[in-house]
Amino acid sequence: MNHNEYLVRAECPICAAPVAGSKLVIRSDPPAETLPFGSHGKFLSGYTSRRIFFSYARCPICEGLYCPVFFTQKQLDTLYAHQPENLVDVPLASRVATLRAYFDLLKQHSNLTGNYLELGPDIGVFAELCARDGRFSEFHLYEPNVEVHQVLTSRLAGQKLHISPASYVQGSLPASSLGVAIAIHVLDHLIDPATVLRALHQDLAPHGRLFLATHDEASLLARTLGRRWPPYTLQHPQLFSPKTISHLLERCGFRVIAAQKSLNYFPITLLMRASLNIFGIERWPNFMNFPWQVGLRLGNIATVAARV
Ligand SMILES: [Zn+2]
């Protein structure tokens, strides 16, 4: 065992109950925590058949699902520094369709004014939708991947723009200054999501809105696929359900105003390939090259929350 090199949690990241009472529920063979750092293979494993991840345990108090042993922040920084663009396999048109559905939900609950913050905006597709339809004063984008900063700048041309490669922490922005705070597939990746949520709570204006997209470990797809469910990966120190994301948000001073199972759009061909990969079939017929897209409820939750 190489536990000493990894982060060993003392508390549940969702409710802060002691790890001691948690019960191991899902593990890979071999579990990542039994392998030395640097020997796990591909970090962003995605939709492939060979899956190595840190064992997930269930908290008996909040039912949160998390890894009691995980990479340290320093190890994560090393791994993320050498990654290609997220979701690079999924064509842009499909990603835009998915994000447009998220935007439609946000628009129902926000007047799209004040300052805009996004954690991990990637190439800025969602921020651009907000810039086009909203009347935001400033855009604060925290994007560790400097490779995409130029693209972000051109996508948000004409806006008052602040792009930072550093992590967002409490005190980065004036308190109560944000109209919206966006974190799309970010919370699942943070070792300590509560600290970031508390900082966002402080920086949101009284009528501000928090928008989150996270995987849903309680979804039918997750329960059906078991450990083959793609979000069980080395990147996710915890995974949420509608119940546990609400628990965490309430603990950090938020009130959930909408939580929806969201549609994710994929080209049919990619989906077929991913399905085959999940079940260990690495070869697929390549004569099917349809441009059709399908929207599927792939086990994601979109959550809108307000400051209490
Ligand atoms: Zn808990």
If you measure from the C-alpha of residue 238 to the centroid of ligand 1, how many angstroms do you get, rounded to a whole number?
A: 11
Per-residue tokens: 197: 């949520």
If you measure from the C-alpha of residue 236 to the centroid of ligand 1, how many angstroms do you get, rounded to a whole number?
A: 16
Per-residue pLDDT of the chain (308 residues; tens, 9 = 90+): 444 589 999 999 999 999 999 999 999 999 999 999 988 876 654 445 567 899 999 999 999 999 999 999 999 888 876 665 554 556 777 778 889 989 999 999 999 999 999 999 999 999 999 999 999 999 999 998 888 999 999 999 999 999 999 989 998 899 999 999 999 999 999 999 999 999 999 999 999 999 999 999 998 888 888 988 889 999 999 999 999 999 999 999 999 999 988 766 656 665 666 666 666 655 544 444 445 566 566 678 999 999 98
If you measure from the C-alpha of residue 23 to the centroid of ligand 1, how many angstroms do you get, rounded to a whole number?
A: 11
Largest Cα separation within the chain, whole Å, is 55
Produce one character per residue of 240-269: b if its CB has 16 or more CB atoms within 10 Å, e if not. bbbebbbbbbeebebebeebeebbbbbbeb
Q: Which candidate, 296, 308, 272, places its Cα nearest to that of 216? A: 296
- The whole model's pTM is what? 0.86
| Ligand 1 ion: residues within 5 Å (CB) | 12, 14-15, 17, 59, 61-62, 64
Q: H-helix or E-strand containing 109?
A: helix 92-109
